[in-house]
Structure 1
Amino acid sequence: MLAEPPPSLRSVTTSALPGQRRRPADPPVGTPERYWRRLLLVLAVLALLTRLPSFRHPLWNPDEGYLAVQARLLASGGTLYTTVVDRKPPLLPWLYEAAFALCGDGSLGPLRLAAVAAQLLTALALASTARHRWGDRAGRAAGVLYLLVSIGLNPEDAQAATFEVFMLPFTAAAVRCADRGNWTRAGLAVAGACLTKQTGGAALVPVLWLLWQHPGSRRTSLLRTAVGVITPIALVALLAGPSRFLFWTVTGSGAYATFAGSELHVLTRALANTAILAAGCAGLLPPVVRVLRSARTGAADLWLWLIASAGAVLLGCHFFGHYYLQLIPPLVLLATGALQILPPYRLTSALLTSACSCALFLLWGLLAPRPDLVHTERLATAVTARTGPADRVLVWGIHPETYWLARRAPASRYLTAGLLTNYSGGRDGPQVGEKYGVDGSWPVFRAELADRPPELIVDDSQGRPYAPDRLPTLRRLLASQYERSAVVDGAVFYVRAD
């Protein structure tokens, strides 16, 4: 007979539904090597299958375009947080740079494969946690369920090789390591998540809960965790410049993280993406709700992980679909744990429902048109035709991928109008303008344009709140030094007057 799981694991097997005997975790079958070899093959095939749509387009969203342009600038001698800037930590820009150095910078194919690997690693970490708590069958279920629901969002959010996808392996690994009492490794995993995206720090909440529940010296465990978290972040900060690193990743985003000026738009997006995620997780939610209503699951660390991740989604006050990706790993483990105390047919039902939902999102990704990409490709073609390889260009808009597709260097370190005006995700009204941009950005921007004026300026604002006629600096520049030359797909092209 198997021993009862230790209290520190907070397993859902500690309780059962009324009138039903608790079903213990299934015993291991075969050797661990054989188990993981078979599961790895299944999960690898499933990870590749679910991310097939990601290879369909050269780009899925502006975040990929921003990272691609950053990587080119870094490869050509740029310095992160000085001549190459963004509000994100450095791990993913460095990964893009490394991929471009090894495979060339003309395609994101290698990054697509890296994203497949990231999803596979996340599934394996969740499977390992579930197997450790509830047995072999639970491990298989967690890995498969995760990959089935991992694409349950708009394809622009789920299929892009961006921050959340590469953050999730670290968050899943942090909980796995804490579950086994490996505190230094858990801290290192939390640090990796934070260095991929700031909200990865949400994984620290379940880690600290498990630390508090674990037998042994809490002081020693806390010290090991702190060393694991702080050391990599401190080293990266020293490498990037402590003050610049702190500004661009923490203190410089105050105006960005606010509802002001876009309340209705943001609320509509939040409700829409919540509904889409609920559809993608249709196989997970019923068992979680069923057990939550009928029994005490005891999985406090998983609930805290989910709540902390939900707080991370709320933190940015924008509710982009890709923010919701970090809710999926704790939901998968909660559902897997709930299924261990429900009748066996509920697992079959969860898998079938998740598979059907996955098929719908897979078709969506394979068949959905990308009108924004078509527009950007037209602009890039026009920019290439009107400039030389050494010319600098300013694309005034929110699609930095134009630079990458046109293979032209940007005239400024600020790759989008959003950094200079606080426009992002449809924000409108009083919170958009020169005074709402990143602190100190406009003097730097004016100096860049004065030092090396761009040969071509593309106004792709198309009536949005950041249009040049609402920005005195840009309006004066266009009036004094440039003349209108063409209109391409709604974007106005300006060339040097001389």
Structure 2
Amino acid sequence: MPPSGEPSPRTLTADTTLPGPRRRSAPPAAGTQRAQRTQRFWAPLLAVLTLLAALTRLPSFTTALWNPDEGFLATQARQLAAGGALYETVVDRKPPLLPWLYQAAFAVFGDASLWPLKALAVVATVATAALLASTARRRWGDRAGWTAGVVSVLLSVGLNPEDTQAATFEVFMLPWTAAAVMYADRRLWGRAGLAVAAALLTKQTGGVVLLPVLFLLLRDADRSRAGAWLRLLAATALPVGAAAVHFGPGRFAYWTFAGSGEYASAEGAELLAAGRAAGGTALLLLAAAPLVAALTHAAYRRGLAGTADLWVWLGASAVAVTVGFQFFGHYFLQLLPPLTLLATAALRTAAPRRAAVAVALTGVLTAGFVAWGFTAERAELEHARRVAAELRQRTAPDEPVLVWGMHPEDYWLADRRPATRYLTAGFLTNFSGGRGGVRTGEQYAMPGSWPRFLRDLREHPPAVVVDDSRGAPYRPARIPRLDAYLTAHYRPVATVDGAVFHVRRDGR
């Protein structure tokens, strides 16, 4: 018998199954491991990037409009929804993708608010950061991927809030530029070409990302393959060519490339252009000061090997910022993707603690820019609201109106239809806020614009004309044809916050 307290041994029979040797579970397949690592990397990173983007862009949701570009796009989208034709009855010096995006958002959510576009701007910010993180991770590892993603979001608001918080062209162009370089880095030339085309069709200067893409192709060991060149160039050219065919090659080329010669000239305003360039550069350097310091240190120590394509990208983007010599603040946003990756390359050579301090200090500076966004005064928006309220009071919803000024948001805020395809006086006088009134007048207008403008007024006589020039160089007294038109057909009846309202002399 077994000792007391011990179990009796099992009685073995012919039917008893003996336990086999214990087997170790097989390790997961390599593909499964990669998928798990990818999920562990992206799930928390995307959550952090989304939260950061939402927080940094919170000021965007606190005001109806941040700059006239948003008002222009909103008015343009309403005209398109009402049956207008882009580059014919609805015109701008920009490619079609963003007007179409505004039109689509209005169709789904209504056209009374820009909050859907502001939400999409958050998505675009996250997309840019994620694409840059993907490129950095592929080159330098997971830590670099996190650094690039976070830095991208932090820098995205590092300029004047009216330039960074607005849902306008650069914000929606940057994901495409980041995608173009990411795909080129992976030698996916067809996809890279499609991204280049999308960037160009969002804003013309987005097309300069083709230069770093070409640099990567030339550096590739298989650069002699005709197929790679064919895929890249065909994928770039076909969407742009399709847009040209859709709108008409001449009309598309005129409005997106060829019709802005006077507007792009800095003659007579060189000092003003230089001052604006210096101001934008200073703001960006302030926002990125810890990163620029790290980048300078790494360059001095020659710790930036393998980043030649990023320097090409930064240089090409600097050329894009300079084109036209306007130097509006939002132009500088195009510098951020290559600057983000260069800063990431620099930080990966630094000690982890030093790199973390640099990113943290950048976050502190970002918090300052966000606070600026919450406190920034919007005097021009308040002026536009007062003008729009008077327009609504003096006109019926179906009556066209003309606002002679540089703030197309008046039409959108008033919910009134423009009497002409030209939403600002800039098309007809060459006035630009980046020029200070130099080379302003009828003789500097876009070619052929005045006959079309006067024809628009004959076909759709405005019920009210608002002279919102407020003494600017394009005021009617300095524009003979407009002055003659107003004198013959209209009389002033009221002044609201400096804007003079005119009604028809015949009372109709």
Task: Give the TM interval when normalised to the shorter protein.
Answer: over 0.9
Aligned AA (2:84): G
| Structure 1: 4+ residue segments shifted above 6 A | none
> Contact 2:303–2:349 (CA<8 Å) still a contact in 1?
no
SS in 1 for 2:345: helix
> Contact 2:169–2:202 (CA<8 Å) still a contact in 1?
yes
- Residue correspondence of structure 1 range 164-313 to structure 2 within 5 A: 164-216=170-222, 217-295=224-302, 297-298=304-305, 299-313=307-321
Q: Which residue of 2 aligns with 1:460?
A: 468
Q: Which residue of 1 aligns with 2:149?
A: 143
SS in 1 for 2:290: coil
Number of aligned residue pairs: 472
SS in 2 for 1:118: helix
Q: Which whole-Å CA distance do the structure 2 matches of 1:322 and 1:430 have between them?
A: 22
Deviation string, structure 1 residues 345-389 (Cα, Å, up to 9, x no partner)? 221121111110110000000111100101111100011111110
Q: Which whole-Å CA distance do the structure 1 matches of 2:480 and 2:445 have between them?
A: 14
Compared CA separation, residues 376 and 103, structure 1 to 2 (3 A):
same
Displacement of 1:278 after TM fit? 0.8
1:50 aligns with 2:56: yes
Structure 1 unaligned blocks of 5 or more: 1-26
Deviation string, structure 1 residues 30-52 (Cα, Å, up to 9, x no partner)? 61122111111111111111111
Within the candidate set 74, 78, 93, 1:68 is matched to 74
Deviates more, 1:258-267 or 1:454-463: 258-267
Q: Which whole-Å CA distance do the structure 2 matches of 1:246 and 1:269 have between them?
A: 28
> Contact 1:29–1:136 (CA<8 Å) still a contact in 2?
no
Within the candidate set 106, 110, 115, 1:104 is matched to 110
Aligned AA (1:103): F
Q: Which whole-Å CA distance do the structure 2 matches of 1:89 and 1:416 have between them?
A: 18
Q: Which whole-Å CA distance do the structure 1 matches of 2:475 and 2:496 have between them?
A: 16
Q: Which residue of 2 aligns with 1:485?
A: 493
Compared CA separation, residues 330 and 192, structure 1 to 2 (3 A):
same
Displacement of 1:428 after TM fit? 4.1
Q: Which residue of 2 aligns with 1:385?
A: 393
Bigger radius of gyration: 2
Aligned AA (1:44): T
Within the candidate set 33, 37, 59, 1:31 is matched to 37
Q: Which residue of 1 aligns with 2:361?
A: 353
Q: Kindly, what percent of the aligned residue pairs are identical?
A: 56
> Contact 1:28–1:135 (CA<8 Å) still a contact in 2?
no
> Contact 2:66–2:165 (CA<8 Å) still a contact in 1?
yes
SS in 1 for 2:495: strand
SS in 2 for 1:284: helix
SS in 2 for 1:253: coil
> Contact 2:137–2:144 (CA<8 Å) still a contact in 1?
yes
Displacement of 1:223 after TM fit? 1.0
Displacement of 1:261 after TM fit? 3.3
Q: Which residue of 1 aligns with 2:7?
A: none
SS in 1 for 2:320: helix
Displacement of 1:452 after TM fit? 2.1
Q: Which residue of 1 aligns with 2:22?
A: none
Q: Which residue of 1 aligns with 2:335?
A: 327
Displacement of 1:251 after TM fit? 0.4
Q: Which whole-Å CA distance do the structure 2 matches of 1:142 and 1:346 have between them?
A: 16
1:90 aligns with 2:96: yes
Q: CA RMSD in A?
A: 1.4
SS in 2 for 1:318: coil
> Contact 2:494–2:502 (CA<8 Å) still a contact in 1?
yes
Displacement of 1:219 after TM fit? 2.5
Displacement of 1:333 after TM fit? 0.2
Q: Which whole-Å CA distance do the structure 2 matches of 1:451 and 1:161 have between them?
A: 33
Deviates more, 1:154-163 or 1:285-294: 285-294
TM-score, scaled to structure 1: 0.93
